[in-house]
Amino acid sequence: MMPRSSVTAACGTGVSAHRAVSRMRRADRLRLGSAVAGLSVTLLVLAALRVLWGAYQVTPADFVRILSGQTIAGASFIVLEEKLPRAVAAMLAGAALGASGALYRRTLRNPLASPDILGVTTGAAAAVVAWLAATAAQMGGGSDLARSAAALVGALAAGAAVFLAARSIGGERFIVAGIAVGAAGQAIVAGTMLSLSQHDLQAATVWLAGSLNGVTWGRIALLAAATALLLPAAGLLHRALAPVDLGLPTATALGARPRRTGAAALIVGAGLAAAATAAVGPLAFVALLAGPAAQFLTGGRPSLTCSALAGAAMVVLADLLAAETTALLFDGARLPTGVLTGAAGAPLMLWMLLRQGRERGGRA
């Protein structure tokens, strides 16, 4: 079986070559399909764990009853105001960040070029804090829409600053310019925070560490709307940019318009990252990690769906560990979710740095 197919492929007779290619395609599609299915099941299991398990446990039967509108003393409140919103927000924010990371990665053709490394999420956070300080609105009570708009403006401004500073796109210099812009954003955040009132300061501190603690249904609705709008667009752009993987000249020759499509992709990606940041704060490294995790599962093929699913699963898992497991281990203390993704992301970034060097070595 194995020798025959390789021989026929080598002979290159039209029909059998076509058959070999379509077999490879089928295998590829099968692997992609199984990756999507596996990730979906993982996500569902994690989400179910997040809602049902923990310091306060809910039986599946009770959960169904609560969803269908019955009121169970205590359980209803905890499920509807605490566990369910966190799980839903975690899934949506993770999916948005994962998709945004995949889009940046493909457009900029650099695995390290994710919105969190480039300072885009920090820019969004800085704009939100600046807006809070300017309007002196309460963290939870202020208008969620204005807050998201501020996040979007901040994200786009940070992205534009990186472009202007680096002049080139996607290279290592670009990444360092992003790190510098991120540092400036962080400084603006730290400086502006001091002008917030004590009450706002506390809420802002929690939000800034990337926390799902303060999430509300209003914010979730906004995030859901933004994701529903931007995710399909991101999918289309991701597909349209597929020829870019072959290099810019080839892509242009194949009829793609990498500049225009790429610019649109970066704006949509910034929008997704900003929507997630406005809702749950800057979750470190999710956008950076979701892409490689998804590619590992699909066998190297970049997939926006898988990246979004992987991002969602990551945030739900991180939230589960941060909120419930630390509470068990450390006597009720709760870690912000972003702390966990940050600690897990740093070694991976170092590893990616090493691998990037190896790839460059292969090309040279």
Partner 1 sequence: MPMAAAVLPVVLPLGLLAVAAVAGLALGARTVDPTTALRTLTAMLSGQPLPGGIDAAAVASRVPRTVTAALVGSSLAVAGACLQGATRNPLGDPGLLGLSGGASLAMAIGLALGVPASAPATLGLAALGTAGAAALVYACASAATRIGGTPGAPSPIALVLAGAAVTAGTTAVTTALLVLSPAVRDRLRFWSIGTVARAELSEALLLAPVILAAVLAAIAVGSGLDALALGEDLAHGLGSRPGHVRAVLLAAVVVLTAAAVALAGPVAFVGLVVPHALRRLRPQGARMLLCGSALWGAVLVIVADLLGRTVVAPGEVHLGVTTVLIGVPVLLVLLRRTGVAA
Q: Which residues bind partner 1 (CB under 8 A)?
A: 112, 117, 165-167, 171-173, 175-177, 179-181, 183-184, 186-188, 190-191, 194-195, 209, 284-285, 326, 330, 333-336, 338-343, 345-347, 349-350, 353-354, 356-358, 360-361, 364
- Minimum Å gap between C-beta 136 and partner 1 is 14
Is the Cβ of residue 63 or residue 163 nearer to partner 1 in the bound state?
163
Is the Cβ of residue 12 or residue 347 nearer to partner 1 in the bound state?
347
- Minimum Å gap between C-beta 85 and partner 1 is 21
Is the Cβ of residue 177 or residue 244 nearer to partner 1 in the bound state?
177
- Minimum Å gap between C-beta 87 and partner 1 is 22
- Minimum Å gap between C-beta 158 and partner 1 is 12
Three-state SS across the chain? CHHHHHHHHHHCCHHHHHHHHHHHHHHHHHHHHHHHHHHHHHHHHHHHHHHHCCCCCCCHHHHHHHHCCCCCCCHHHHHHHHHHHHHHHHHHHHHHHHHHHHHHHHHHCCCCCCCCCCCHHHHHHHHHHHHHHHHCCCCCCCCHHHHHHHHHHHHHHHHHHHHHHHCCCCCHHHHHHHHHHHHHHHHHHHHHHCCCCHHHHHHHHHHHCCCCCCCCHHHHHHHHHHHHHHHHHHHHHHHHCHHHHHCHHHHHHCCCCHHHHHHHHHHHHHHHHHHHHHHHCCCCCHHHHHHHHHHHHHCCCCCHHHHHHHHHHHHHHHHHHHHHHHHHHCCCCCCCHHHHHHHHHHHHHHHHHHHHHHHHHHHC
Is the Cβ of residue 165 or residue 229 nearer to partner 1 in the bound state?
165
- Minimum Å gap between C-beta 117 and partner 1 is 7
Is the Cβ of residue 209 or residue 270 nearer to partner 1 in the bound state?
209
- Minimum Å gap between C-beta 310 and partner 1 is 20
Is the Cβ of residue 40 or residue 356 nearer to partner 1 in the bound state?
356
